[in-house]
């Protein structure tokens, strides 16, 4: 090392001194060495590799002391977003940080919907729940935030998708190094002028202030003390916390130093946030120093790109602007030549498409719940915004096409250095986007017209009542539930018209829907006034059920009608908590065991029996055995014999293992990207929900069945082991999104077939399943499919019942089983022919009746005579009514207007309006005309300008409706043709 110190420490003719430090020895300034190497060896050598070869490395705990730094002339060249990302990671790698990959946008943390910050993957370490694997790390983390979605495109810095560059210390270094490196990265590595940088510190953090002032040399007039709301980070009401220090870039230093507000977006942008985790916040709110102090930082890539590329906002950087240019091309406009509202629309699509593509790549598909709703909301907002820009179809001439996939191709092209897996999943991403966009467009136009009408009505009613215009919560919910309009989109359009929305009413409608959708689910809780107090006196239940189906146990607590009791007698519905149990409590989709609890008294007294019909977990890990006292009584503190029903347990085990095989077979047949979205393992059947965009074909279901039954026939023995969660994931075990796992997990493996994290009960060998049969496959939500199947005894019962049905069918049709299909096809063909004959006869009768009514047509209009016919055709069905209208259009001389009505039965009304070309030329539309008429009959409808159909449910109003139709058509034609 001494020889290194003999090098001339100069660059550009100026001397840079490196001082030894008595405590840690010499401190080397790596960035300076790189510049020196470039100065001494002016060539195309890779500076970073040369430094590595010379072993010029530093540890995280090593920090240079710099007397003077000379600006690198190369810094004047704008650098790309990809280069910024790489230089950040290389900078911290050279300082001992382990560079780790970005975590998925779907976090392991069940308390967070999506990955919102770079520190999220390290949260267990910061909270002391997991040991550190490295002393310090650096990442470029993909993040999603939608809490400020209304600001996207409106401001220069808000995004739904962004990258957060971060360096993290897990007890290795602290404030001094974090601050110095942040300054060095900003001013030397990225060459930001020091005079344009401002710093904020927590108002009580004198230590950080001193470091900025005395060791880094930031002028006091460029440092601001801020309060707890801005500069103090907490993990929750209690736990690790600490002050923050932030770096800001000043776009307008000419505005001076007086009354400076770092929150002024027109002047400043915060680009780097340093969090110093140094305290533990206690229950009483007091702070105590942490034994291990941590560093958590975040630097916004898009923000740094804006600064270095010298553009007016984040959207005009090379990270996003190529996407905006693609949107502009489809909209046939120029970004530079449009007004600000149009630019905002372009920015919205550019931003949202990045979020959409990366979310779908990470396995989040559009749906109406959770993460899926975030994707669906962003897609629909992008589609709606595109239509406001004038993009129709694919924007390239195909009116039936989709434009989002075209933009997504540009996002995928830009993604290779962010996440290379995106390109590998391109086909799936583009197909999902195309399908979702076309599905939304199918209802969008109808919804847009309905929203416009609702807003018109709201404004009109407000004028009549002299009140502020307001859209009802019910109307907003109809737009959301039926037409797929996120309430945010409805609100945007309503705001433009000056109409508010009754959000309380909307939330009530949403809550009603949630209650309806949850009605079929069991909600289990202890119905006591203070369940937490009750739980304090009860230990967690020891589960013995993996190894035995029967054991002795002690009654810890009894509940009757949700209230604690000492004793329960015959006939009581009771909830029993034991110190240990062989009963499996419902979890992981598997229902709770059934069985019996015995209490044997003396030889002269009867045996108490409690029939257990359900077992649930509550208050942490306490098992609640729900049942009925069939005889005798039971008391707290008594010993019982707990016995699980072995037959039902076996049926549950069979279905649970079959569920694992089903997931493995699905991944093999339809793609590895599919993932579990829910399951039910019961005694009678299994249910498996999974992410997929279309119904499975019959041949795919047969292939899945065949694969599973082969695995069953292979007789593979299962392997179950408990291991650290990290090891399980590295081994390839599948985890369920949203499930919370501890440090130690149970892994169930069918060797060569599947490996999953699972706490359920399973067979010992696949041959124990005996057989597997899919009984249904259906969609339960957008992008979510459901398979129901049977296995084991349930499989045999299912096949036996179906076989009996087939025998009865063969007997009825008098054919063999293999002839049933052809015989049924023949019967259906005969039925279709008979129906066609009946329909033809009805049409002929209707036409005959219409010919008789044609003479009732009358003329109206003065400058141009129009023939009008408005008639009731009694009980003619809708199809025959259409035939009659077609006949009359061809019979009456053009121009002619025909309105027909009928009551075909079952309380229904049918209406038809048919206008000849001459009437349409006058400006009339059959579709618009028939709607209000149908409303009089309690219905609605519409159609083309020349032909429209409608229906209703109030046949008693048909005569009134037809009279109204005649009155209206005459009035309109008198005006148009008069």
d(CA 234, CA 244): 10
Average pLDDT, the chain: 84
Give the pLDDT mean for 404-428.
91
State what percent of residues in the chain have pLDDT above 70. 87
pLDDT of residue 562: 82
pLDDT at 178 over 50: yes
Contact status, residue 223 vs residue 206, Cβ threshold 8 Å: no
One DSSP character per residue, 843-892 reads HHHHHHHHHHHGGG-EEE-SSS-EEEEEEE-TT--HHHHHHHHHHHHHHS
pLDDT at 307 over 50: yes
Residue 823, φ and ψ in degrees, nearest 5:
-65, -45
Give the pLDDT mean for 724-742.
74
How does residue 74 score in pLDDT terms, banded at 50, 70 and 90?
very low
pLDDT of residue 727: 85
State what percent of residues in the chain have pLDDT above 90. 48
How does residue 978 score in pLDDT terms, banded at 50, 70 and 90?
low
pLDDT of residue 54: 34
Closest to 380 (Cα-Cα) out of 404, 396, 357: 404
Q: What is the pLDDT of residues 696-725, one digit of tens each?
A: 999 999 999 999 999 999 999 999 999 988
Residue 686, φ and ψ in degrees, nearest 5:
-125, 150
How does residue 642 score in pLDDT terms, banded at 50, 70 and 90?
very high
Give the pLDDT mean for 610-618.
92
pLDDT at 168 over 60: yes
d(CA 497, CA 460): 12
Q: Is 735 helix (H, G, I), strand (E, B) or coil?
A: coil
Residue with the bigger pLDDT between 562 and 21: it is 562
Give the pLDDT mean for 375-392.
90
Strand partners, 295: 169, 276
pLDDT at 21 over 60: no
pLDDT at 657 over 60: yes
Give the pLDDT mean for 590-606.
81
| 3-class secondary structure per residue, 598-658 | EEECCCCCCEEEEEEEEEEEECCCEEEEEEEEEECEEECCCEEEEEECHHHHHHHHHHHHH
pLDDT of residue 651: 96
pLDDT of residue 353: 96
How does residue 160 score in pLDDT terms, banded at 50, 70 and 90?
very high
pLDDT at 34 over 70: no
Residue with the bigger pLDDT between 537 and 135: it is 135
pLDDT at 673 over 60: yes
Strand partners, 162: 143
pLDDT of residue 373: 84
Counting beta carbons within 10 angstroms of the beta carbon of residue 737, is it exposed (0 to 12), middle (13 to 18) or buried (19 or more)? middle
Contact status, residue 382 vs residue 395, Cβ threshold 8 Å: no
Contact status, residue 183 vs residue 214, Cβ threshold 8 Å: no
Residue with the bigger pLDDT between 45 and 153: it is 153
Contact status, residue 529 vs residue 622, Cβ threshold 8 Å: no
Contact status, residue 232 vs residue 193, Cβ threshold 8 Å: no
As a dihedral over the C-alpha atoms of residue 338, residue 343, residue 346, residue 351, rounded to 10 degrees, the angle is 160
How does residue 605 score in pLDDT terms, banded at 50, 70 and 90?
low
Residue with the bigger pLDDT between 672 and 404: it is 404
Q: Is 568 helix (H, G, I), strand (E, B) or coil?
A: strand
pLDDT at 489 over 90: no
Quote the DSSP letter at residue 429. Answer: H
Q: What is the pLDDT of residues 574-593, one digit of tens each?
A: 999 999 999 999 988 899 99
Q: Which of 167-176, 297-306, 470-479, 510-519 has the lowest mean pLDDT?
A: 510-519
Question: From the CB of residue 801, how many other CB atoms can be counted at a distance below 10 Å?
Answer: 10
Can you list the pairs that 951-954 forms with residues at least 24 positions away whose Cβ atoms lie under 8 Å? Answer: 951/878, 951/908, 951/909, 951/910, 951/911, 952/908, 952/909, 952/911, 953/907, 953/908, 953/909, 954/909
Q: What is the pLDDT of residues 208-253, one digit of tens each?
A: 999 999 999 999 999 999 999 889 988 667 778 899 999 999 999 9
How does residue 26 score in pLDDT terms, banded at 50, 70 and 90?
very low
Q: Which of 62-71, 789-798, 945-954 has the lowest mean pLDDT?
A: 62-71
Question: From the CB of residue 480, how many other CB atoms can be counted at a distance below 10 Å?
Answer: 21
pLDDT at 909 over 50: yes
One DSSP character per residue, 115-128 reads --SGGGGGHHHHTT
Residue with the bigger pLDDT between 510 and 328: it is 328
Please give the C-alpha separations between residue 740 and each of 44, 470, 543, 737, 758, in angstroms, as whole numbers: 51, 43, 19, 9, 11
Residues annotated within a binding site for Zn(2+): 656, 660, 758, 762
Residue with the bigger pLDDT between 802 and 693: it is 802
Contact status, residue 109 vs residue 123, Cβ threshold 8 Å: yes
Give the pLDDT mean for 924-953.
89
Quote the DSSP letter at residue 28. Answer: -
pLDDT of residue 7: 29
- How far is the first Cα of the chain from the last one, in angstroms, to the nearest whole number? 105
pLDDT at 23 over 70: no
How does residue 321 score in pLDDT terms, banded at 50, 70 and 90?
very high
Residue with the bigger pLDDT between 574 and 677: it is 574
Residue with the bigger pLDDT between 135 and 6: it is 135
pLDDT of residue 606: 60
d(CA 841, CA 838): 5
Closest to 334 (Cα-Cα) out of 408, 389, 295: 389
Residues annotated within a binding site: 656, 660, 758, 762
Rounded to two decimals, the pTM is 0.54
Residue with the bigger pLDDT between 46 and 470: it is 470
Note the Cα 670 to chain centre separation in Å. 21
d(CA 64, CA 17): 10
pLDDT of residue 514: 56
Q: Which of 39-53, 447-461, 749-763 has the lowest mean pLDDT?
A: 39-53
pLDDT at 20 over 60: no
Q: Which of 13-17, 216-220, 535-539, 624-628 has the lowest mean pLDDT?
A: 13-17
pLDDT at 487 over 80: no
Residue with the bigger pLDDT between 567 and 67: it is 567
Counting beta carbons within 10 angstroms of the beta carbon of residue 34, is it exposed (0 to 12), middle (13 to 18) or buried (19 or more)? buried
């Amino acid at each position: 090392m001494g020889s290194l110190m003999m090098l001339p420490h100069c660059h550009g003719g100026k001397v840079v001194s490196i001082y030894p430090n008595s405590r840690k020895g010499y401190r080397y300034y790596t960035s300076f060495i790189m510049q020196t190497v470039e100065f001494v060896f002016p060539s195309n050598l890779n500076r970073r590799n040369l430094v590595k070869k010379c072993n010029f490395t530093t540890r995280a705990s090593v920090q240079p002391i710099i007397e003077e730094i000379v600006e690198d002339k190369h810094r004047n060249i704008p650098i790309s977003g990809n280069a910024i990302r790489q230089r950040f990671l290389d900078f911290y790698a050279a300082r001992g940080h382990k560079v780790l990959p970005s975590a998925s946008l779907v976090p392991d943390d069940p308390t967070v919907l999506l990955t919102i910050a770079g520190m999220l993957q390290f949260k267990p370490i910061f909270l002391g729940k997991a040991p550190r694997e490295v002393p310090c790390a650096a990442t470029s983390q993909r993040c999603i935030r939608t809490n400020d979605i209304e600001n996207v495109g409106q401001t220069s810095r808000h995004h739904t998708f962004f990258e957060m560059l971060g360096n993290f210390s897990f007890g290795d270094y602290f404030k001094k190094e974090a601050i110095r490196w942040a300054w060095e990265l900003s001013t030397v590595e990225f060459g930001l002028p020091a005079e344009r940088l401002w710093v904020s510190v927590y108002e009580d953090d004198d230590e950080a202030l001193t470091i900025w002032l005395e060791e880094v040399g930031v002028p006091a007039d460029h440092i601001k003390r801020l309060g707890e709301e801005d500069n103090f980070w907490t993990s929750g009401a209690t736990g690790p916390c600490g002050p923050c220090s932030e770096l800001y870039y000043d776009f307008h230093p000419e505005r001076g130093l007086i009354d400076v507000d770092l929150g002024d977006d027109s002047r400043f942008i915060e680009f780097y946030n340093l969090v110093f985790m140094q305290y533990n916040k206690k229950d009483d709110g007091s702070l105590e120093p942490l034994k291990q102090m941590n560093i958590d930082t975040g630097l916004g890539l898009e923000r740094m790109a804006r600064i270095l590329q010298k553009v007016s906002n984040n959207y005009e950087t090379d990270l996003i602007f190529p996407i905006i240019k693609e949107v502009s091309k489809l909209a046939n406009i120029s970004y530079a030549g449009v007004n600000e509202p149009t630019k905002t629309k372009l920015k919205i699509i550019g931003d949202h498409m990045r979020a959409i593509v990366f979310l779908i790549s990470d396995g989040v598909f559009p749906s109406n719940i959770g993460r899926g709703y975030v994707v669906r909301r962003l897609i629909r907002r992008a589609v709606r915004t595109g239509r406001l820009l004038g993009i129709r179809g694919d924007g390239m001439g195909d009116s039936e096409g989709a434009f989002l996939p075209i933009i997504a191709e540009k996002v995928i092209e830009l993604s290779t250095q962010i996440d290379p897996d995106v390109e590998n999943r391109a086909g799936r991403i583009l197909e999902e986007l195309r399908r979702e966009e076309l599905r939304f467009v199918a209802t969008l136009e109808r919804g847009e017209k309905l929203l416009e009408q609702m807003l018109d009505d709201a404004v009109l009613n407000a004028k009549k009542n002299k009140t502020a215009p307001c859209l009802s919560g019910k109307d907003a919910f109809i737009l959301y539930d039926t037409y797929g309009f996120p309430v945010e989109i409805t609100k945007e359009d309503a705001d433009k018209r000056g109409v508010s929305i009754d959000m309380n009413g909307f939330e009530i409608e949403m809550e009603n829907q949630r209650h309806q959708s949850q009605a079929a689910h069991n909600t289990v809780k202890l119905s006591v006034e203070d369940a937490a107090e009750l739980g304090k006196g009860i230990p967690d239940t020891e589960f013995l059920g993996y190894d035995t189906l029967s054991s002795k146990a002690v009654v810890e607590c009894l509940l009757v009608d949700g209230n604690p009791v000492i004793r329960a007698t015959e006939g009581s519905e009771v909830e029993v908590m034991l110190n240990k149990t062989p009963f499996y409590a419902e979890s992981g989709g598997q229902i709770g065991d059934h069985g019996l609890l015995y209490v044997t008294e003396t030889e002269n007294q009867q045996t108490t029996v409690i029939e257990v019909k359900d077992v649930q977990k509550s208050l942490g890990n306490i098992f609640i055995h729900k049942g009925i006292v069939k005889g005798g009584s039971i008391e707290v503190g008594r010993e019982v014999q707990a016995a699980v029903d072995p037959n039902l347990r076996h049926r549950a085990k069979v279905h649970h293992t079959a569920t694992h095989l089903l997931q493995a077979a699905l991944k093999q047949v339809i793609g590895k990207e599919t993932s579990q979205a829910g399951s039910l393992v019961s005694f009678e059947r299994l249910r498996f929900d999974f992410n997929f965009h279309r119904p499975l074909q019959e041949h795919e279901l047969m292939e899945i069945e065949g694969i599973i039954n082969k695995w069953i026939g292979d007789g593979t023995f299962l392997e179950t082991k408990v291991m650290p969660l990290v090891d399980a994931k590295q081994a390839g075990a599948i985890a369920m999104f949203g499930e919370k796992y501890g440090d130690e997990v149970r892994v169930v493996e069918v060797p060569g077939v599947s490996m999953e994290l699972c706490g359920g009960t399973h067979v010992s060998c696949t041959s124990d399943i005996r057989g597997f049969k899919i009984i249904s496959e259906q969609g339960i939500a957008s992008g979510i499919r459901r398979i129901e199947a049977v296995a084991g005894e349930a499989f045999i019962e299912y096949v036996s019942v179906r076989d009996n049905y087939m025998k009865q069918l063969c007997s009825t049709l008098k054919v063999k089983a293999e002839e049933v299909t052809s015989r049924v096809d023949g019967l259906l063909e005969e039925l279709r022919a008979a129906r066609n004959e009946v329909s033809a006869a009805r049409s002929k009768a209707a036409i005959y009746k219409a010919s008789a009514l044609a003479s009732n047509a009358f003329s109206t209009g003065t400058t141009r005579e129009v023939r009008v016919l408005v008639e009731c055709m009694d009980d003619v069905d809708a199809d025959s009514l259409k035939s009659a209208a077609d006949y009359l259009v061809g019979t009456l001389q053009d121009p002619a207007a025909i309105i027909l009505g009928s009551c075909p039965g079952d309380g229904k009304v049918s209406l038809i309006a048919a206008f000849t070309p001459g009437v349409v030329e006058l400006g009339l539309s059959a579709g618009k005309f028939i709607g209000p008429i149908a409303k009089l009959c309690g219905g609605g409808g519409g159609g083309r300008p020349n032909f429209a159909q409608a229906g209703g449910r109030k046949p008693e109003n048909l005569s009134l409706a037809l009279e109204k139709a005649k009155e209206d058509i005459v009035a309109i034609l008198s005006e148009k043709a008069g």
